[in-house]
Chain A
Amino acid sequence: MSLNSSTLLAAESVTLSYDQTIIAKDLSVQIPEGKFSVIVGPNGCGKSTLLRAMSRLLVPESGKVLLNGRNIHEQTTKDVAKQLGLLPQSAIAPDGIKVMDLVSRGRFPHQKWFQPWREEDQNAVDAAMAATHITDFAQHHVDQLSGGQRQRVWVAMALAQQTPVLLLDEPTTYLDIAHQMELLDLFQDLNQKNGHTMVAVLHDLNHACRYADNLIAMKDGHIVATGKPNEIVTEDLIESVFGLPCLIIEDPISGTPLVIPKSRQC
């Protein structure tokens, strides 16, 4: 691997399974610190499963996930939640909850039993709302917001956790193209300005190539390639991972690889 930076988060030969079905076997991956990593791969290749394992939601059959050099499953949920934030796909906003209340819930790992709401909690919530540009509707109901705004509220909640690492499971799904770009720009800002280590599962290859410092391509529970998009994305790689014939040109705006799929007729 060409990445020299240290790792906060790594999986060491983990075997992952759901209901006795093995999803990934003997998989190892290192997440470079301070970088924006993006995991891509076809449906069912184990991207989300890997993310769940790296966020302590799934116990590996064998192997281990290291967070700050320690086995993540030997740390308490609360300790992990102070180091690593996760935006799951399945988050449910309680009926009629207000934006600020939802963001405030991100402070849970920093609070002790019966501890009152502190100034530093409010500061963290305010900063998270400012970073995601939702301060103006802090008192709005979450279900009144648009899909893009709502997703920013969930990001703000994870930011309020003030963790160095943020994992995002398909954060742009169900958003229109403008909101997708807005959200990805936000992640890039958080990564570059605030130094968050980000790991996102994305479906759009061109978004992945444009925004990722480190691309992780997965297929059938294996990692096929990792590295800078410019270095690893080739027509052969895309064909072998997705089974999709394509043409790769340089993105005229960002200079990153641009994947143009071939259809049957052209």
Chain B
Amino acid sequence: MMPRQYKPSLVPVAFILTLVVLVATLFTGQQVAQGMTGIWQLLTGEASPYQSIVVWQWRASRALGALIIGAGLGVSGAVFQSLVRNPLGSPDITGFNVGAFTGVLLSIAWFGNVYWMSVLGAILGGLCAALLVYLFAYRDGHSGFRLIIVGIAISATLTAFNQWLSLSVSLETAMTAALWSAGSLNGMTWSRILPAAILLILLMCVALAMNSRMKLLEMGDDTAAALGVSVNKSRLALMFVGVSLTAVATAITGPIAFISLAAPQIARRLENNASISLTASALVGAMLLLAADFLAQHAWQGITLPVGLVTISLGGLYLVYLIVREGRL
């Protein structure tokens, strides 16, 4: 809705890269889609049933999951970084995903491994963590920096709580939780990914609809209110959407670090744009998670790593890069 700028944006490049990774994800692997003819047969439906199942049932659902979850995490990060006015104010730093994990652990401990209960537990856990951070950081209003510091503290506390919980539940529950806690896209079948995908897309639409309000809030509460934004209502709604996006994503895959933190900042640089853009953050988030999952599946011969491990390693590299760059300035 704002007038476009004329500086070249690198977002189309990111889009093309995403498509390339998508094609690579779908058609890389032994005994499937040998050469261009193999790919053509898969696209036209002439391939053998075995190949079709591998590509269209197993890989495509996993790739779609990576794209949508990555986009959701990117948008969630963008919303929080904008609200807190700080690039560190992302839900994986302030511990909302750890809170979501706590919710899942409790739900597994009480109700067993029931998918929808885990999703619900994750959302409630994420919201409770957000509420805790919000309450502890309150002192005559909120400063973004205090929210981050308190968030890091709550995150550490909840991590300890999660470990205690994993130790005190039954072995079976602990095993399920441990598998889940690595953050993985394994077993993303269509039936598992579709409901969550729809929920994530709805939440992203709400975030997009609130985009202009979010941008006005970046200019300070008084300025936003003077321009006709209901400050408290808008901020609460945005926080709810942001937490829910992270929580739903966490519920399906387990905690995946780094995407929420990095996607909005990378998107900002790609777009040559001042403010954090939701659509570009979604695209970059999707690209990052898909690429990380590709690495997780193919980087080590014969071993599929949890994607959370790849993103956390990439996140470490990214942080080192940030520190080096800051050091040079």
Contacts and interface: CB of A to CB of B under 8 A. Distances in A.
A94 B86 CA distance: 11
- Majority secondary structure, B binding face: loop
A58 to B, nearest CB: 10
Contacts of B209: 113-114
Interface string A138-172: 01010000000000000000100100000000000
A92 B85 contact: yes
B3 A109 contact: no
Interface in A65-87: 76-82, 85-87
Contacts of A86: 222, 226
Interface in B206-260: 209, 212, 215-216, 218-223, 225-230
B2 A90 contact: no
Given A88-B220, A106-B227, A108-B228, A94 B1 contact: no
A203 interface: no
Contact of B226 (A19, A88, A115): A88
Nearest to B208: A114
A117 B218 contact: no
Interface stretch (A96-104, A213-221, A227-235): A96-104
Nearest to A167: B226
Given A19-B140, A92-B85, A111-B212, A97 B226 contact: no
B226 A96 contact: no
A243 interface: no
B229 A57 contact: no
B225 to A, nearest CB: 6
Given A19-B140, A116-B1, A105 B228 contact: no
Nearest to B219: A92
A117 B2 contact: yes
B323 interface: no
Interface residues of A, number: 44
Contacts of A117: 1-3
Contact of B274 (A57, A88, A95): A95
A108 B229 contact: yes
Contacts of B219: 91-94, 105
Nearest to B213: A108
A139 B5 CA distance: 9
A173 interface: no
B34 interface: no
B5 A90 contact: no
Interface of B: 1-3, 5-6, 85, 140, 209, 212, 215-216, 218-223, 225-230, 273-275
Given A90-B223, A108-B212, A117-B2, 14 more contacts: A57-B225, A76-B228, A77-B228, A81-B228, A88-B222, A92-B85, A92-B218, A98-B274, A100-B3, A106-B227, A109-B227, A109-B228, A117-B1, A122-B3
Interface of A: 19, 52, 55-57, 76-82, 85-98, 100-101, 104-106, 108-109, 111, 113-117, 122, 139, 141, 158, 161
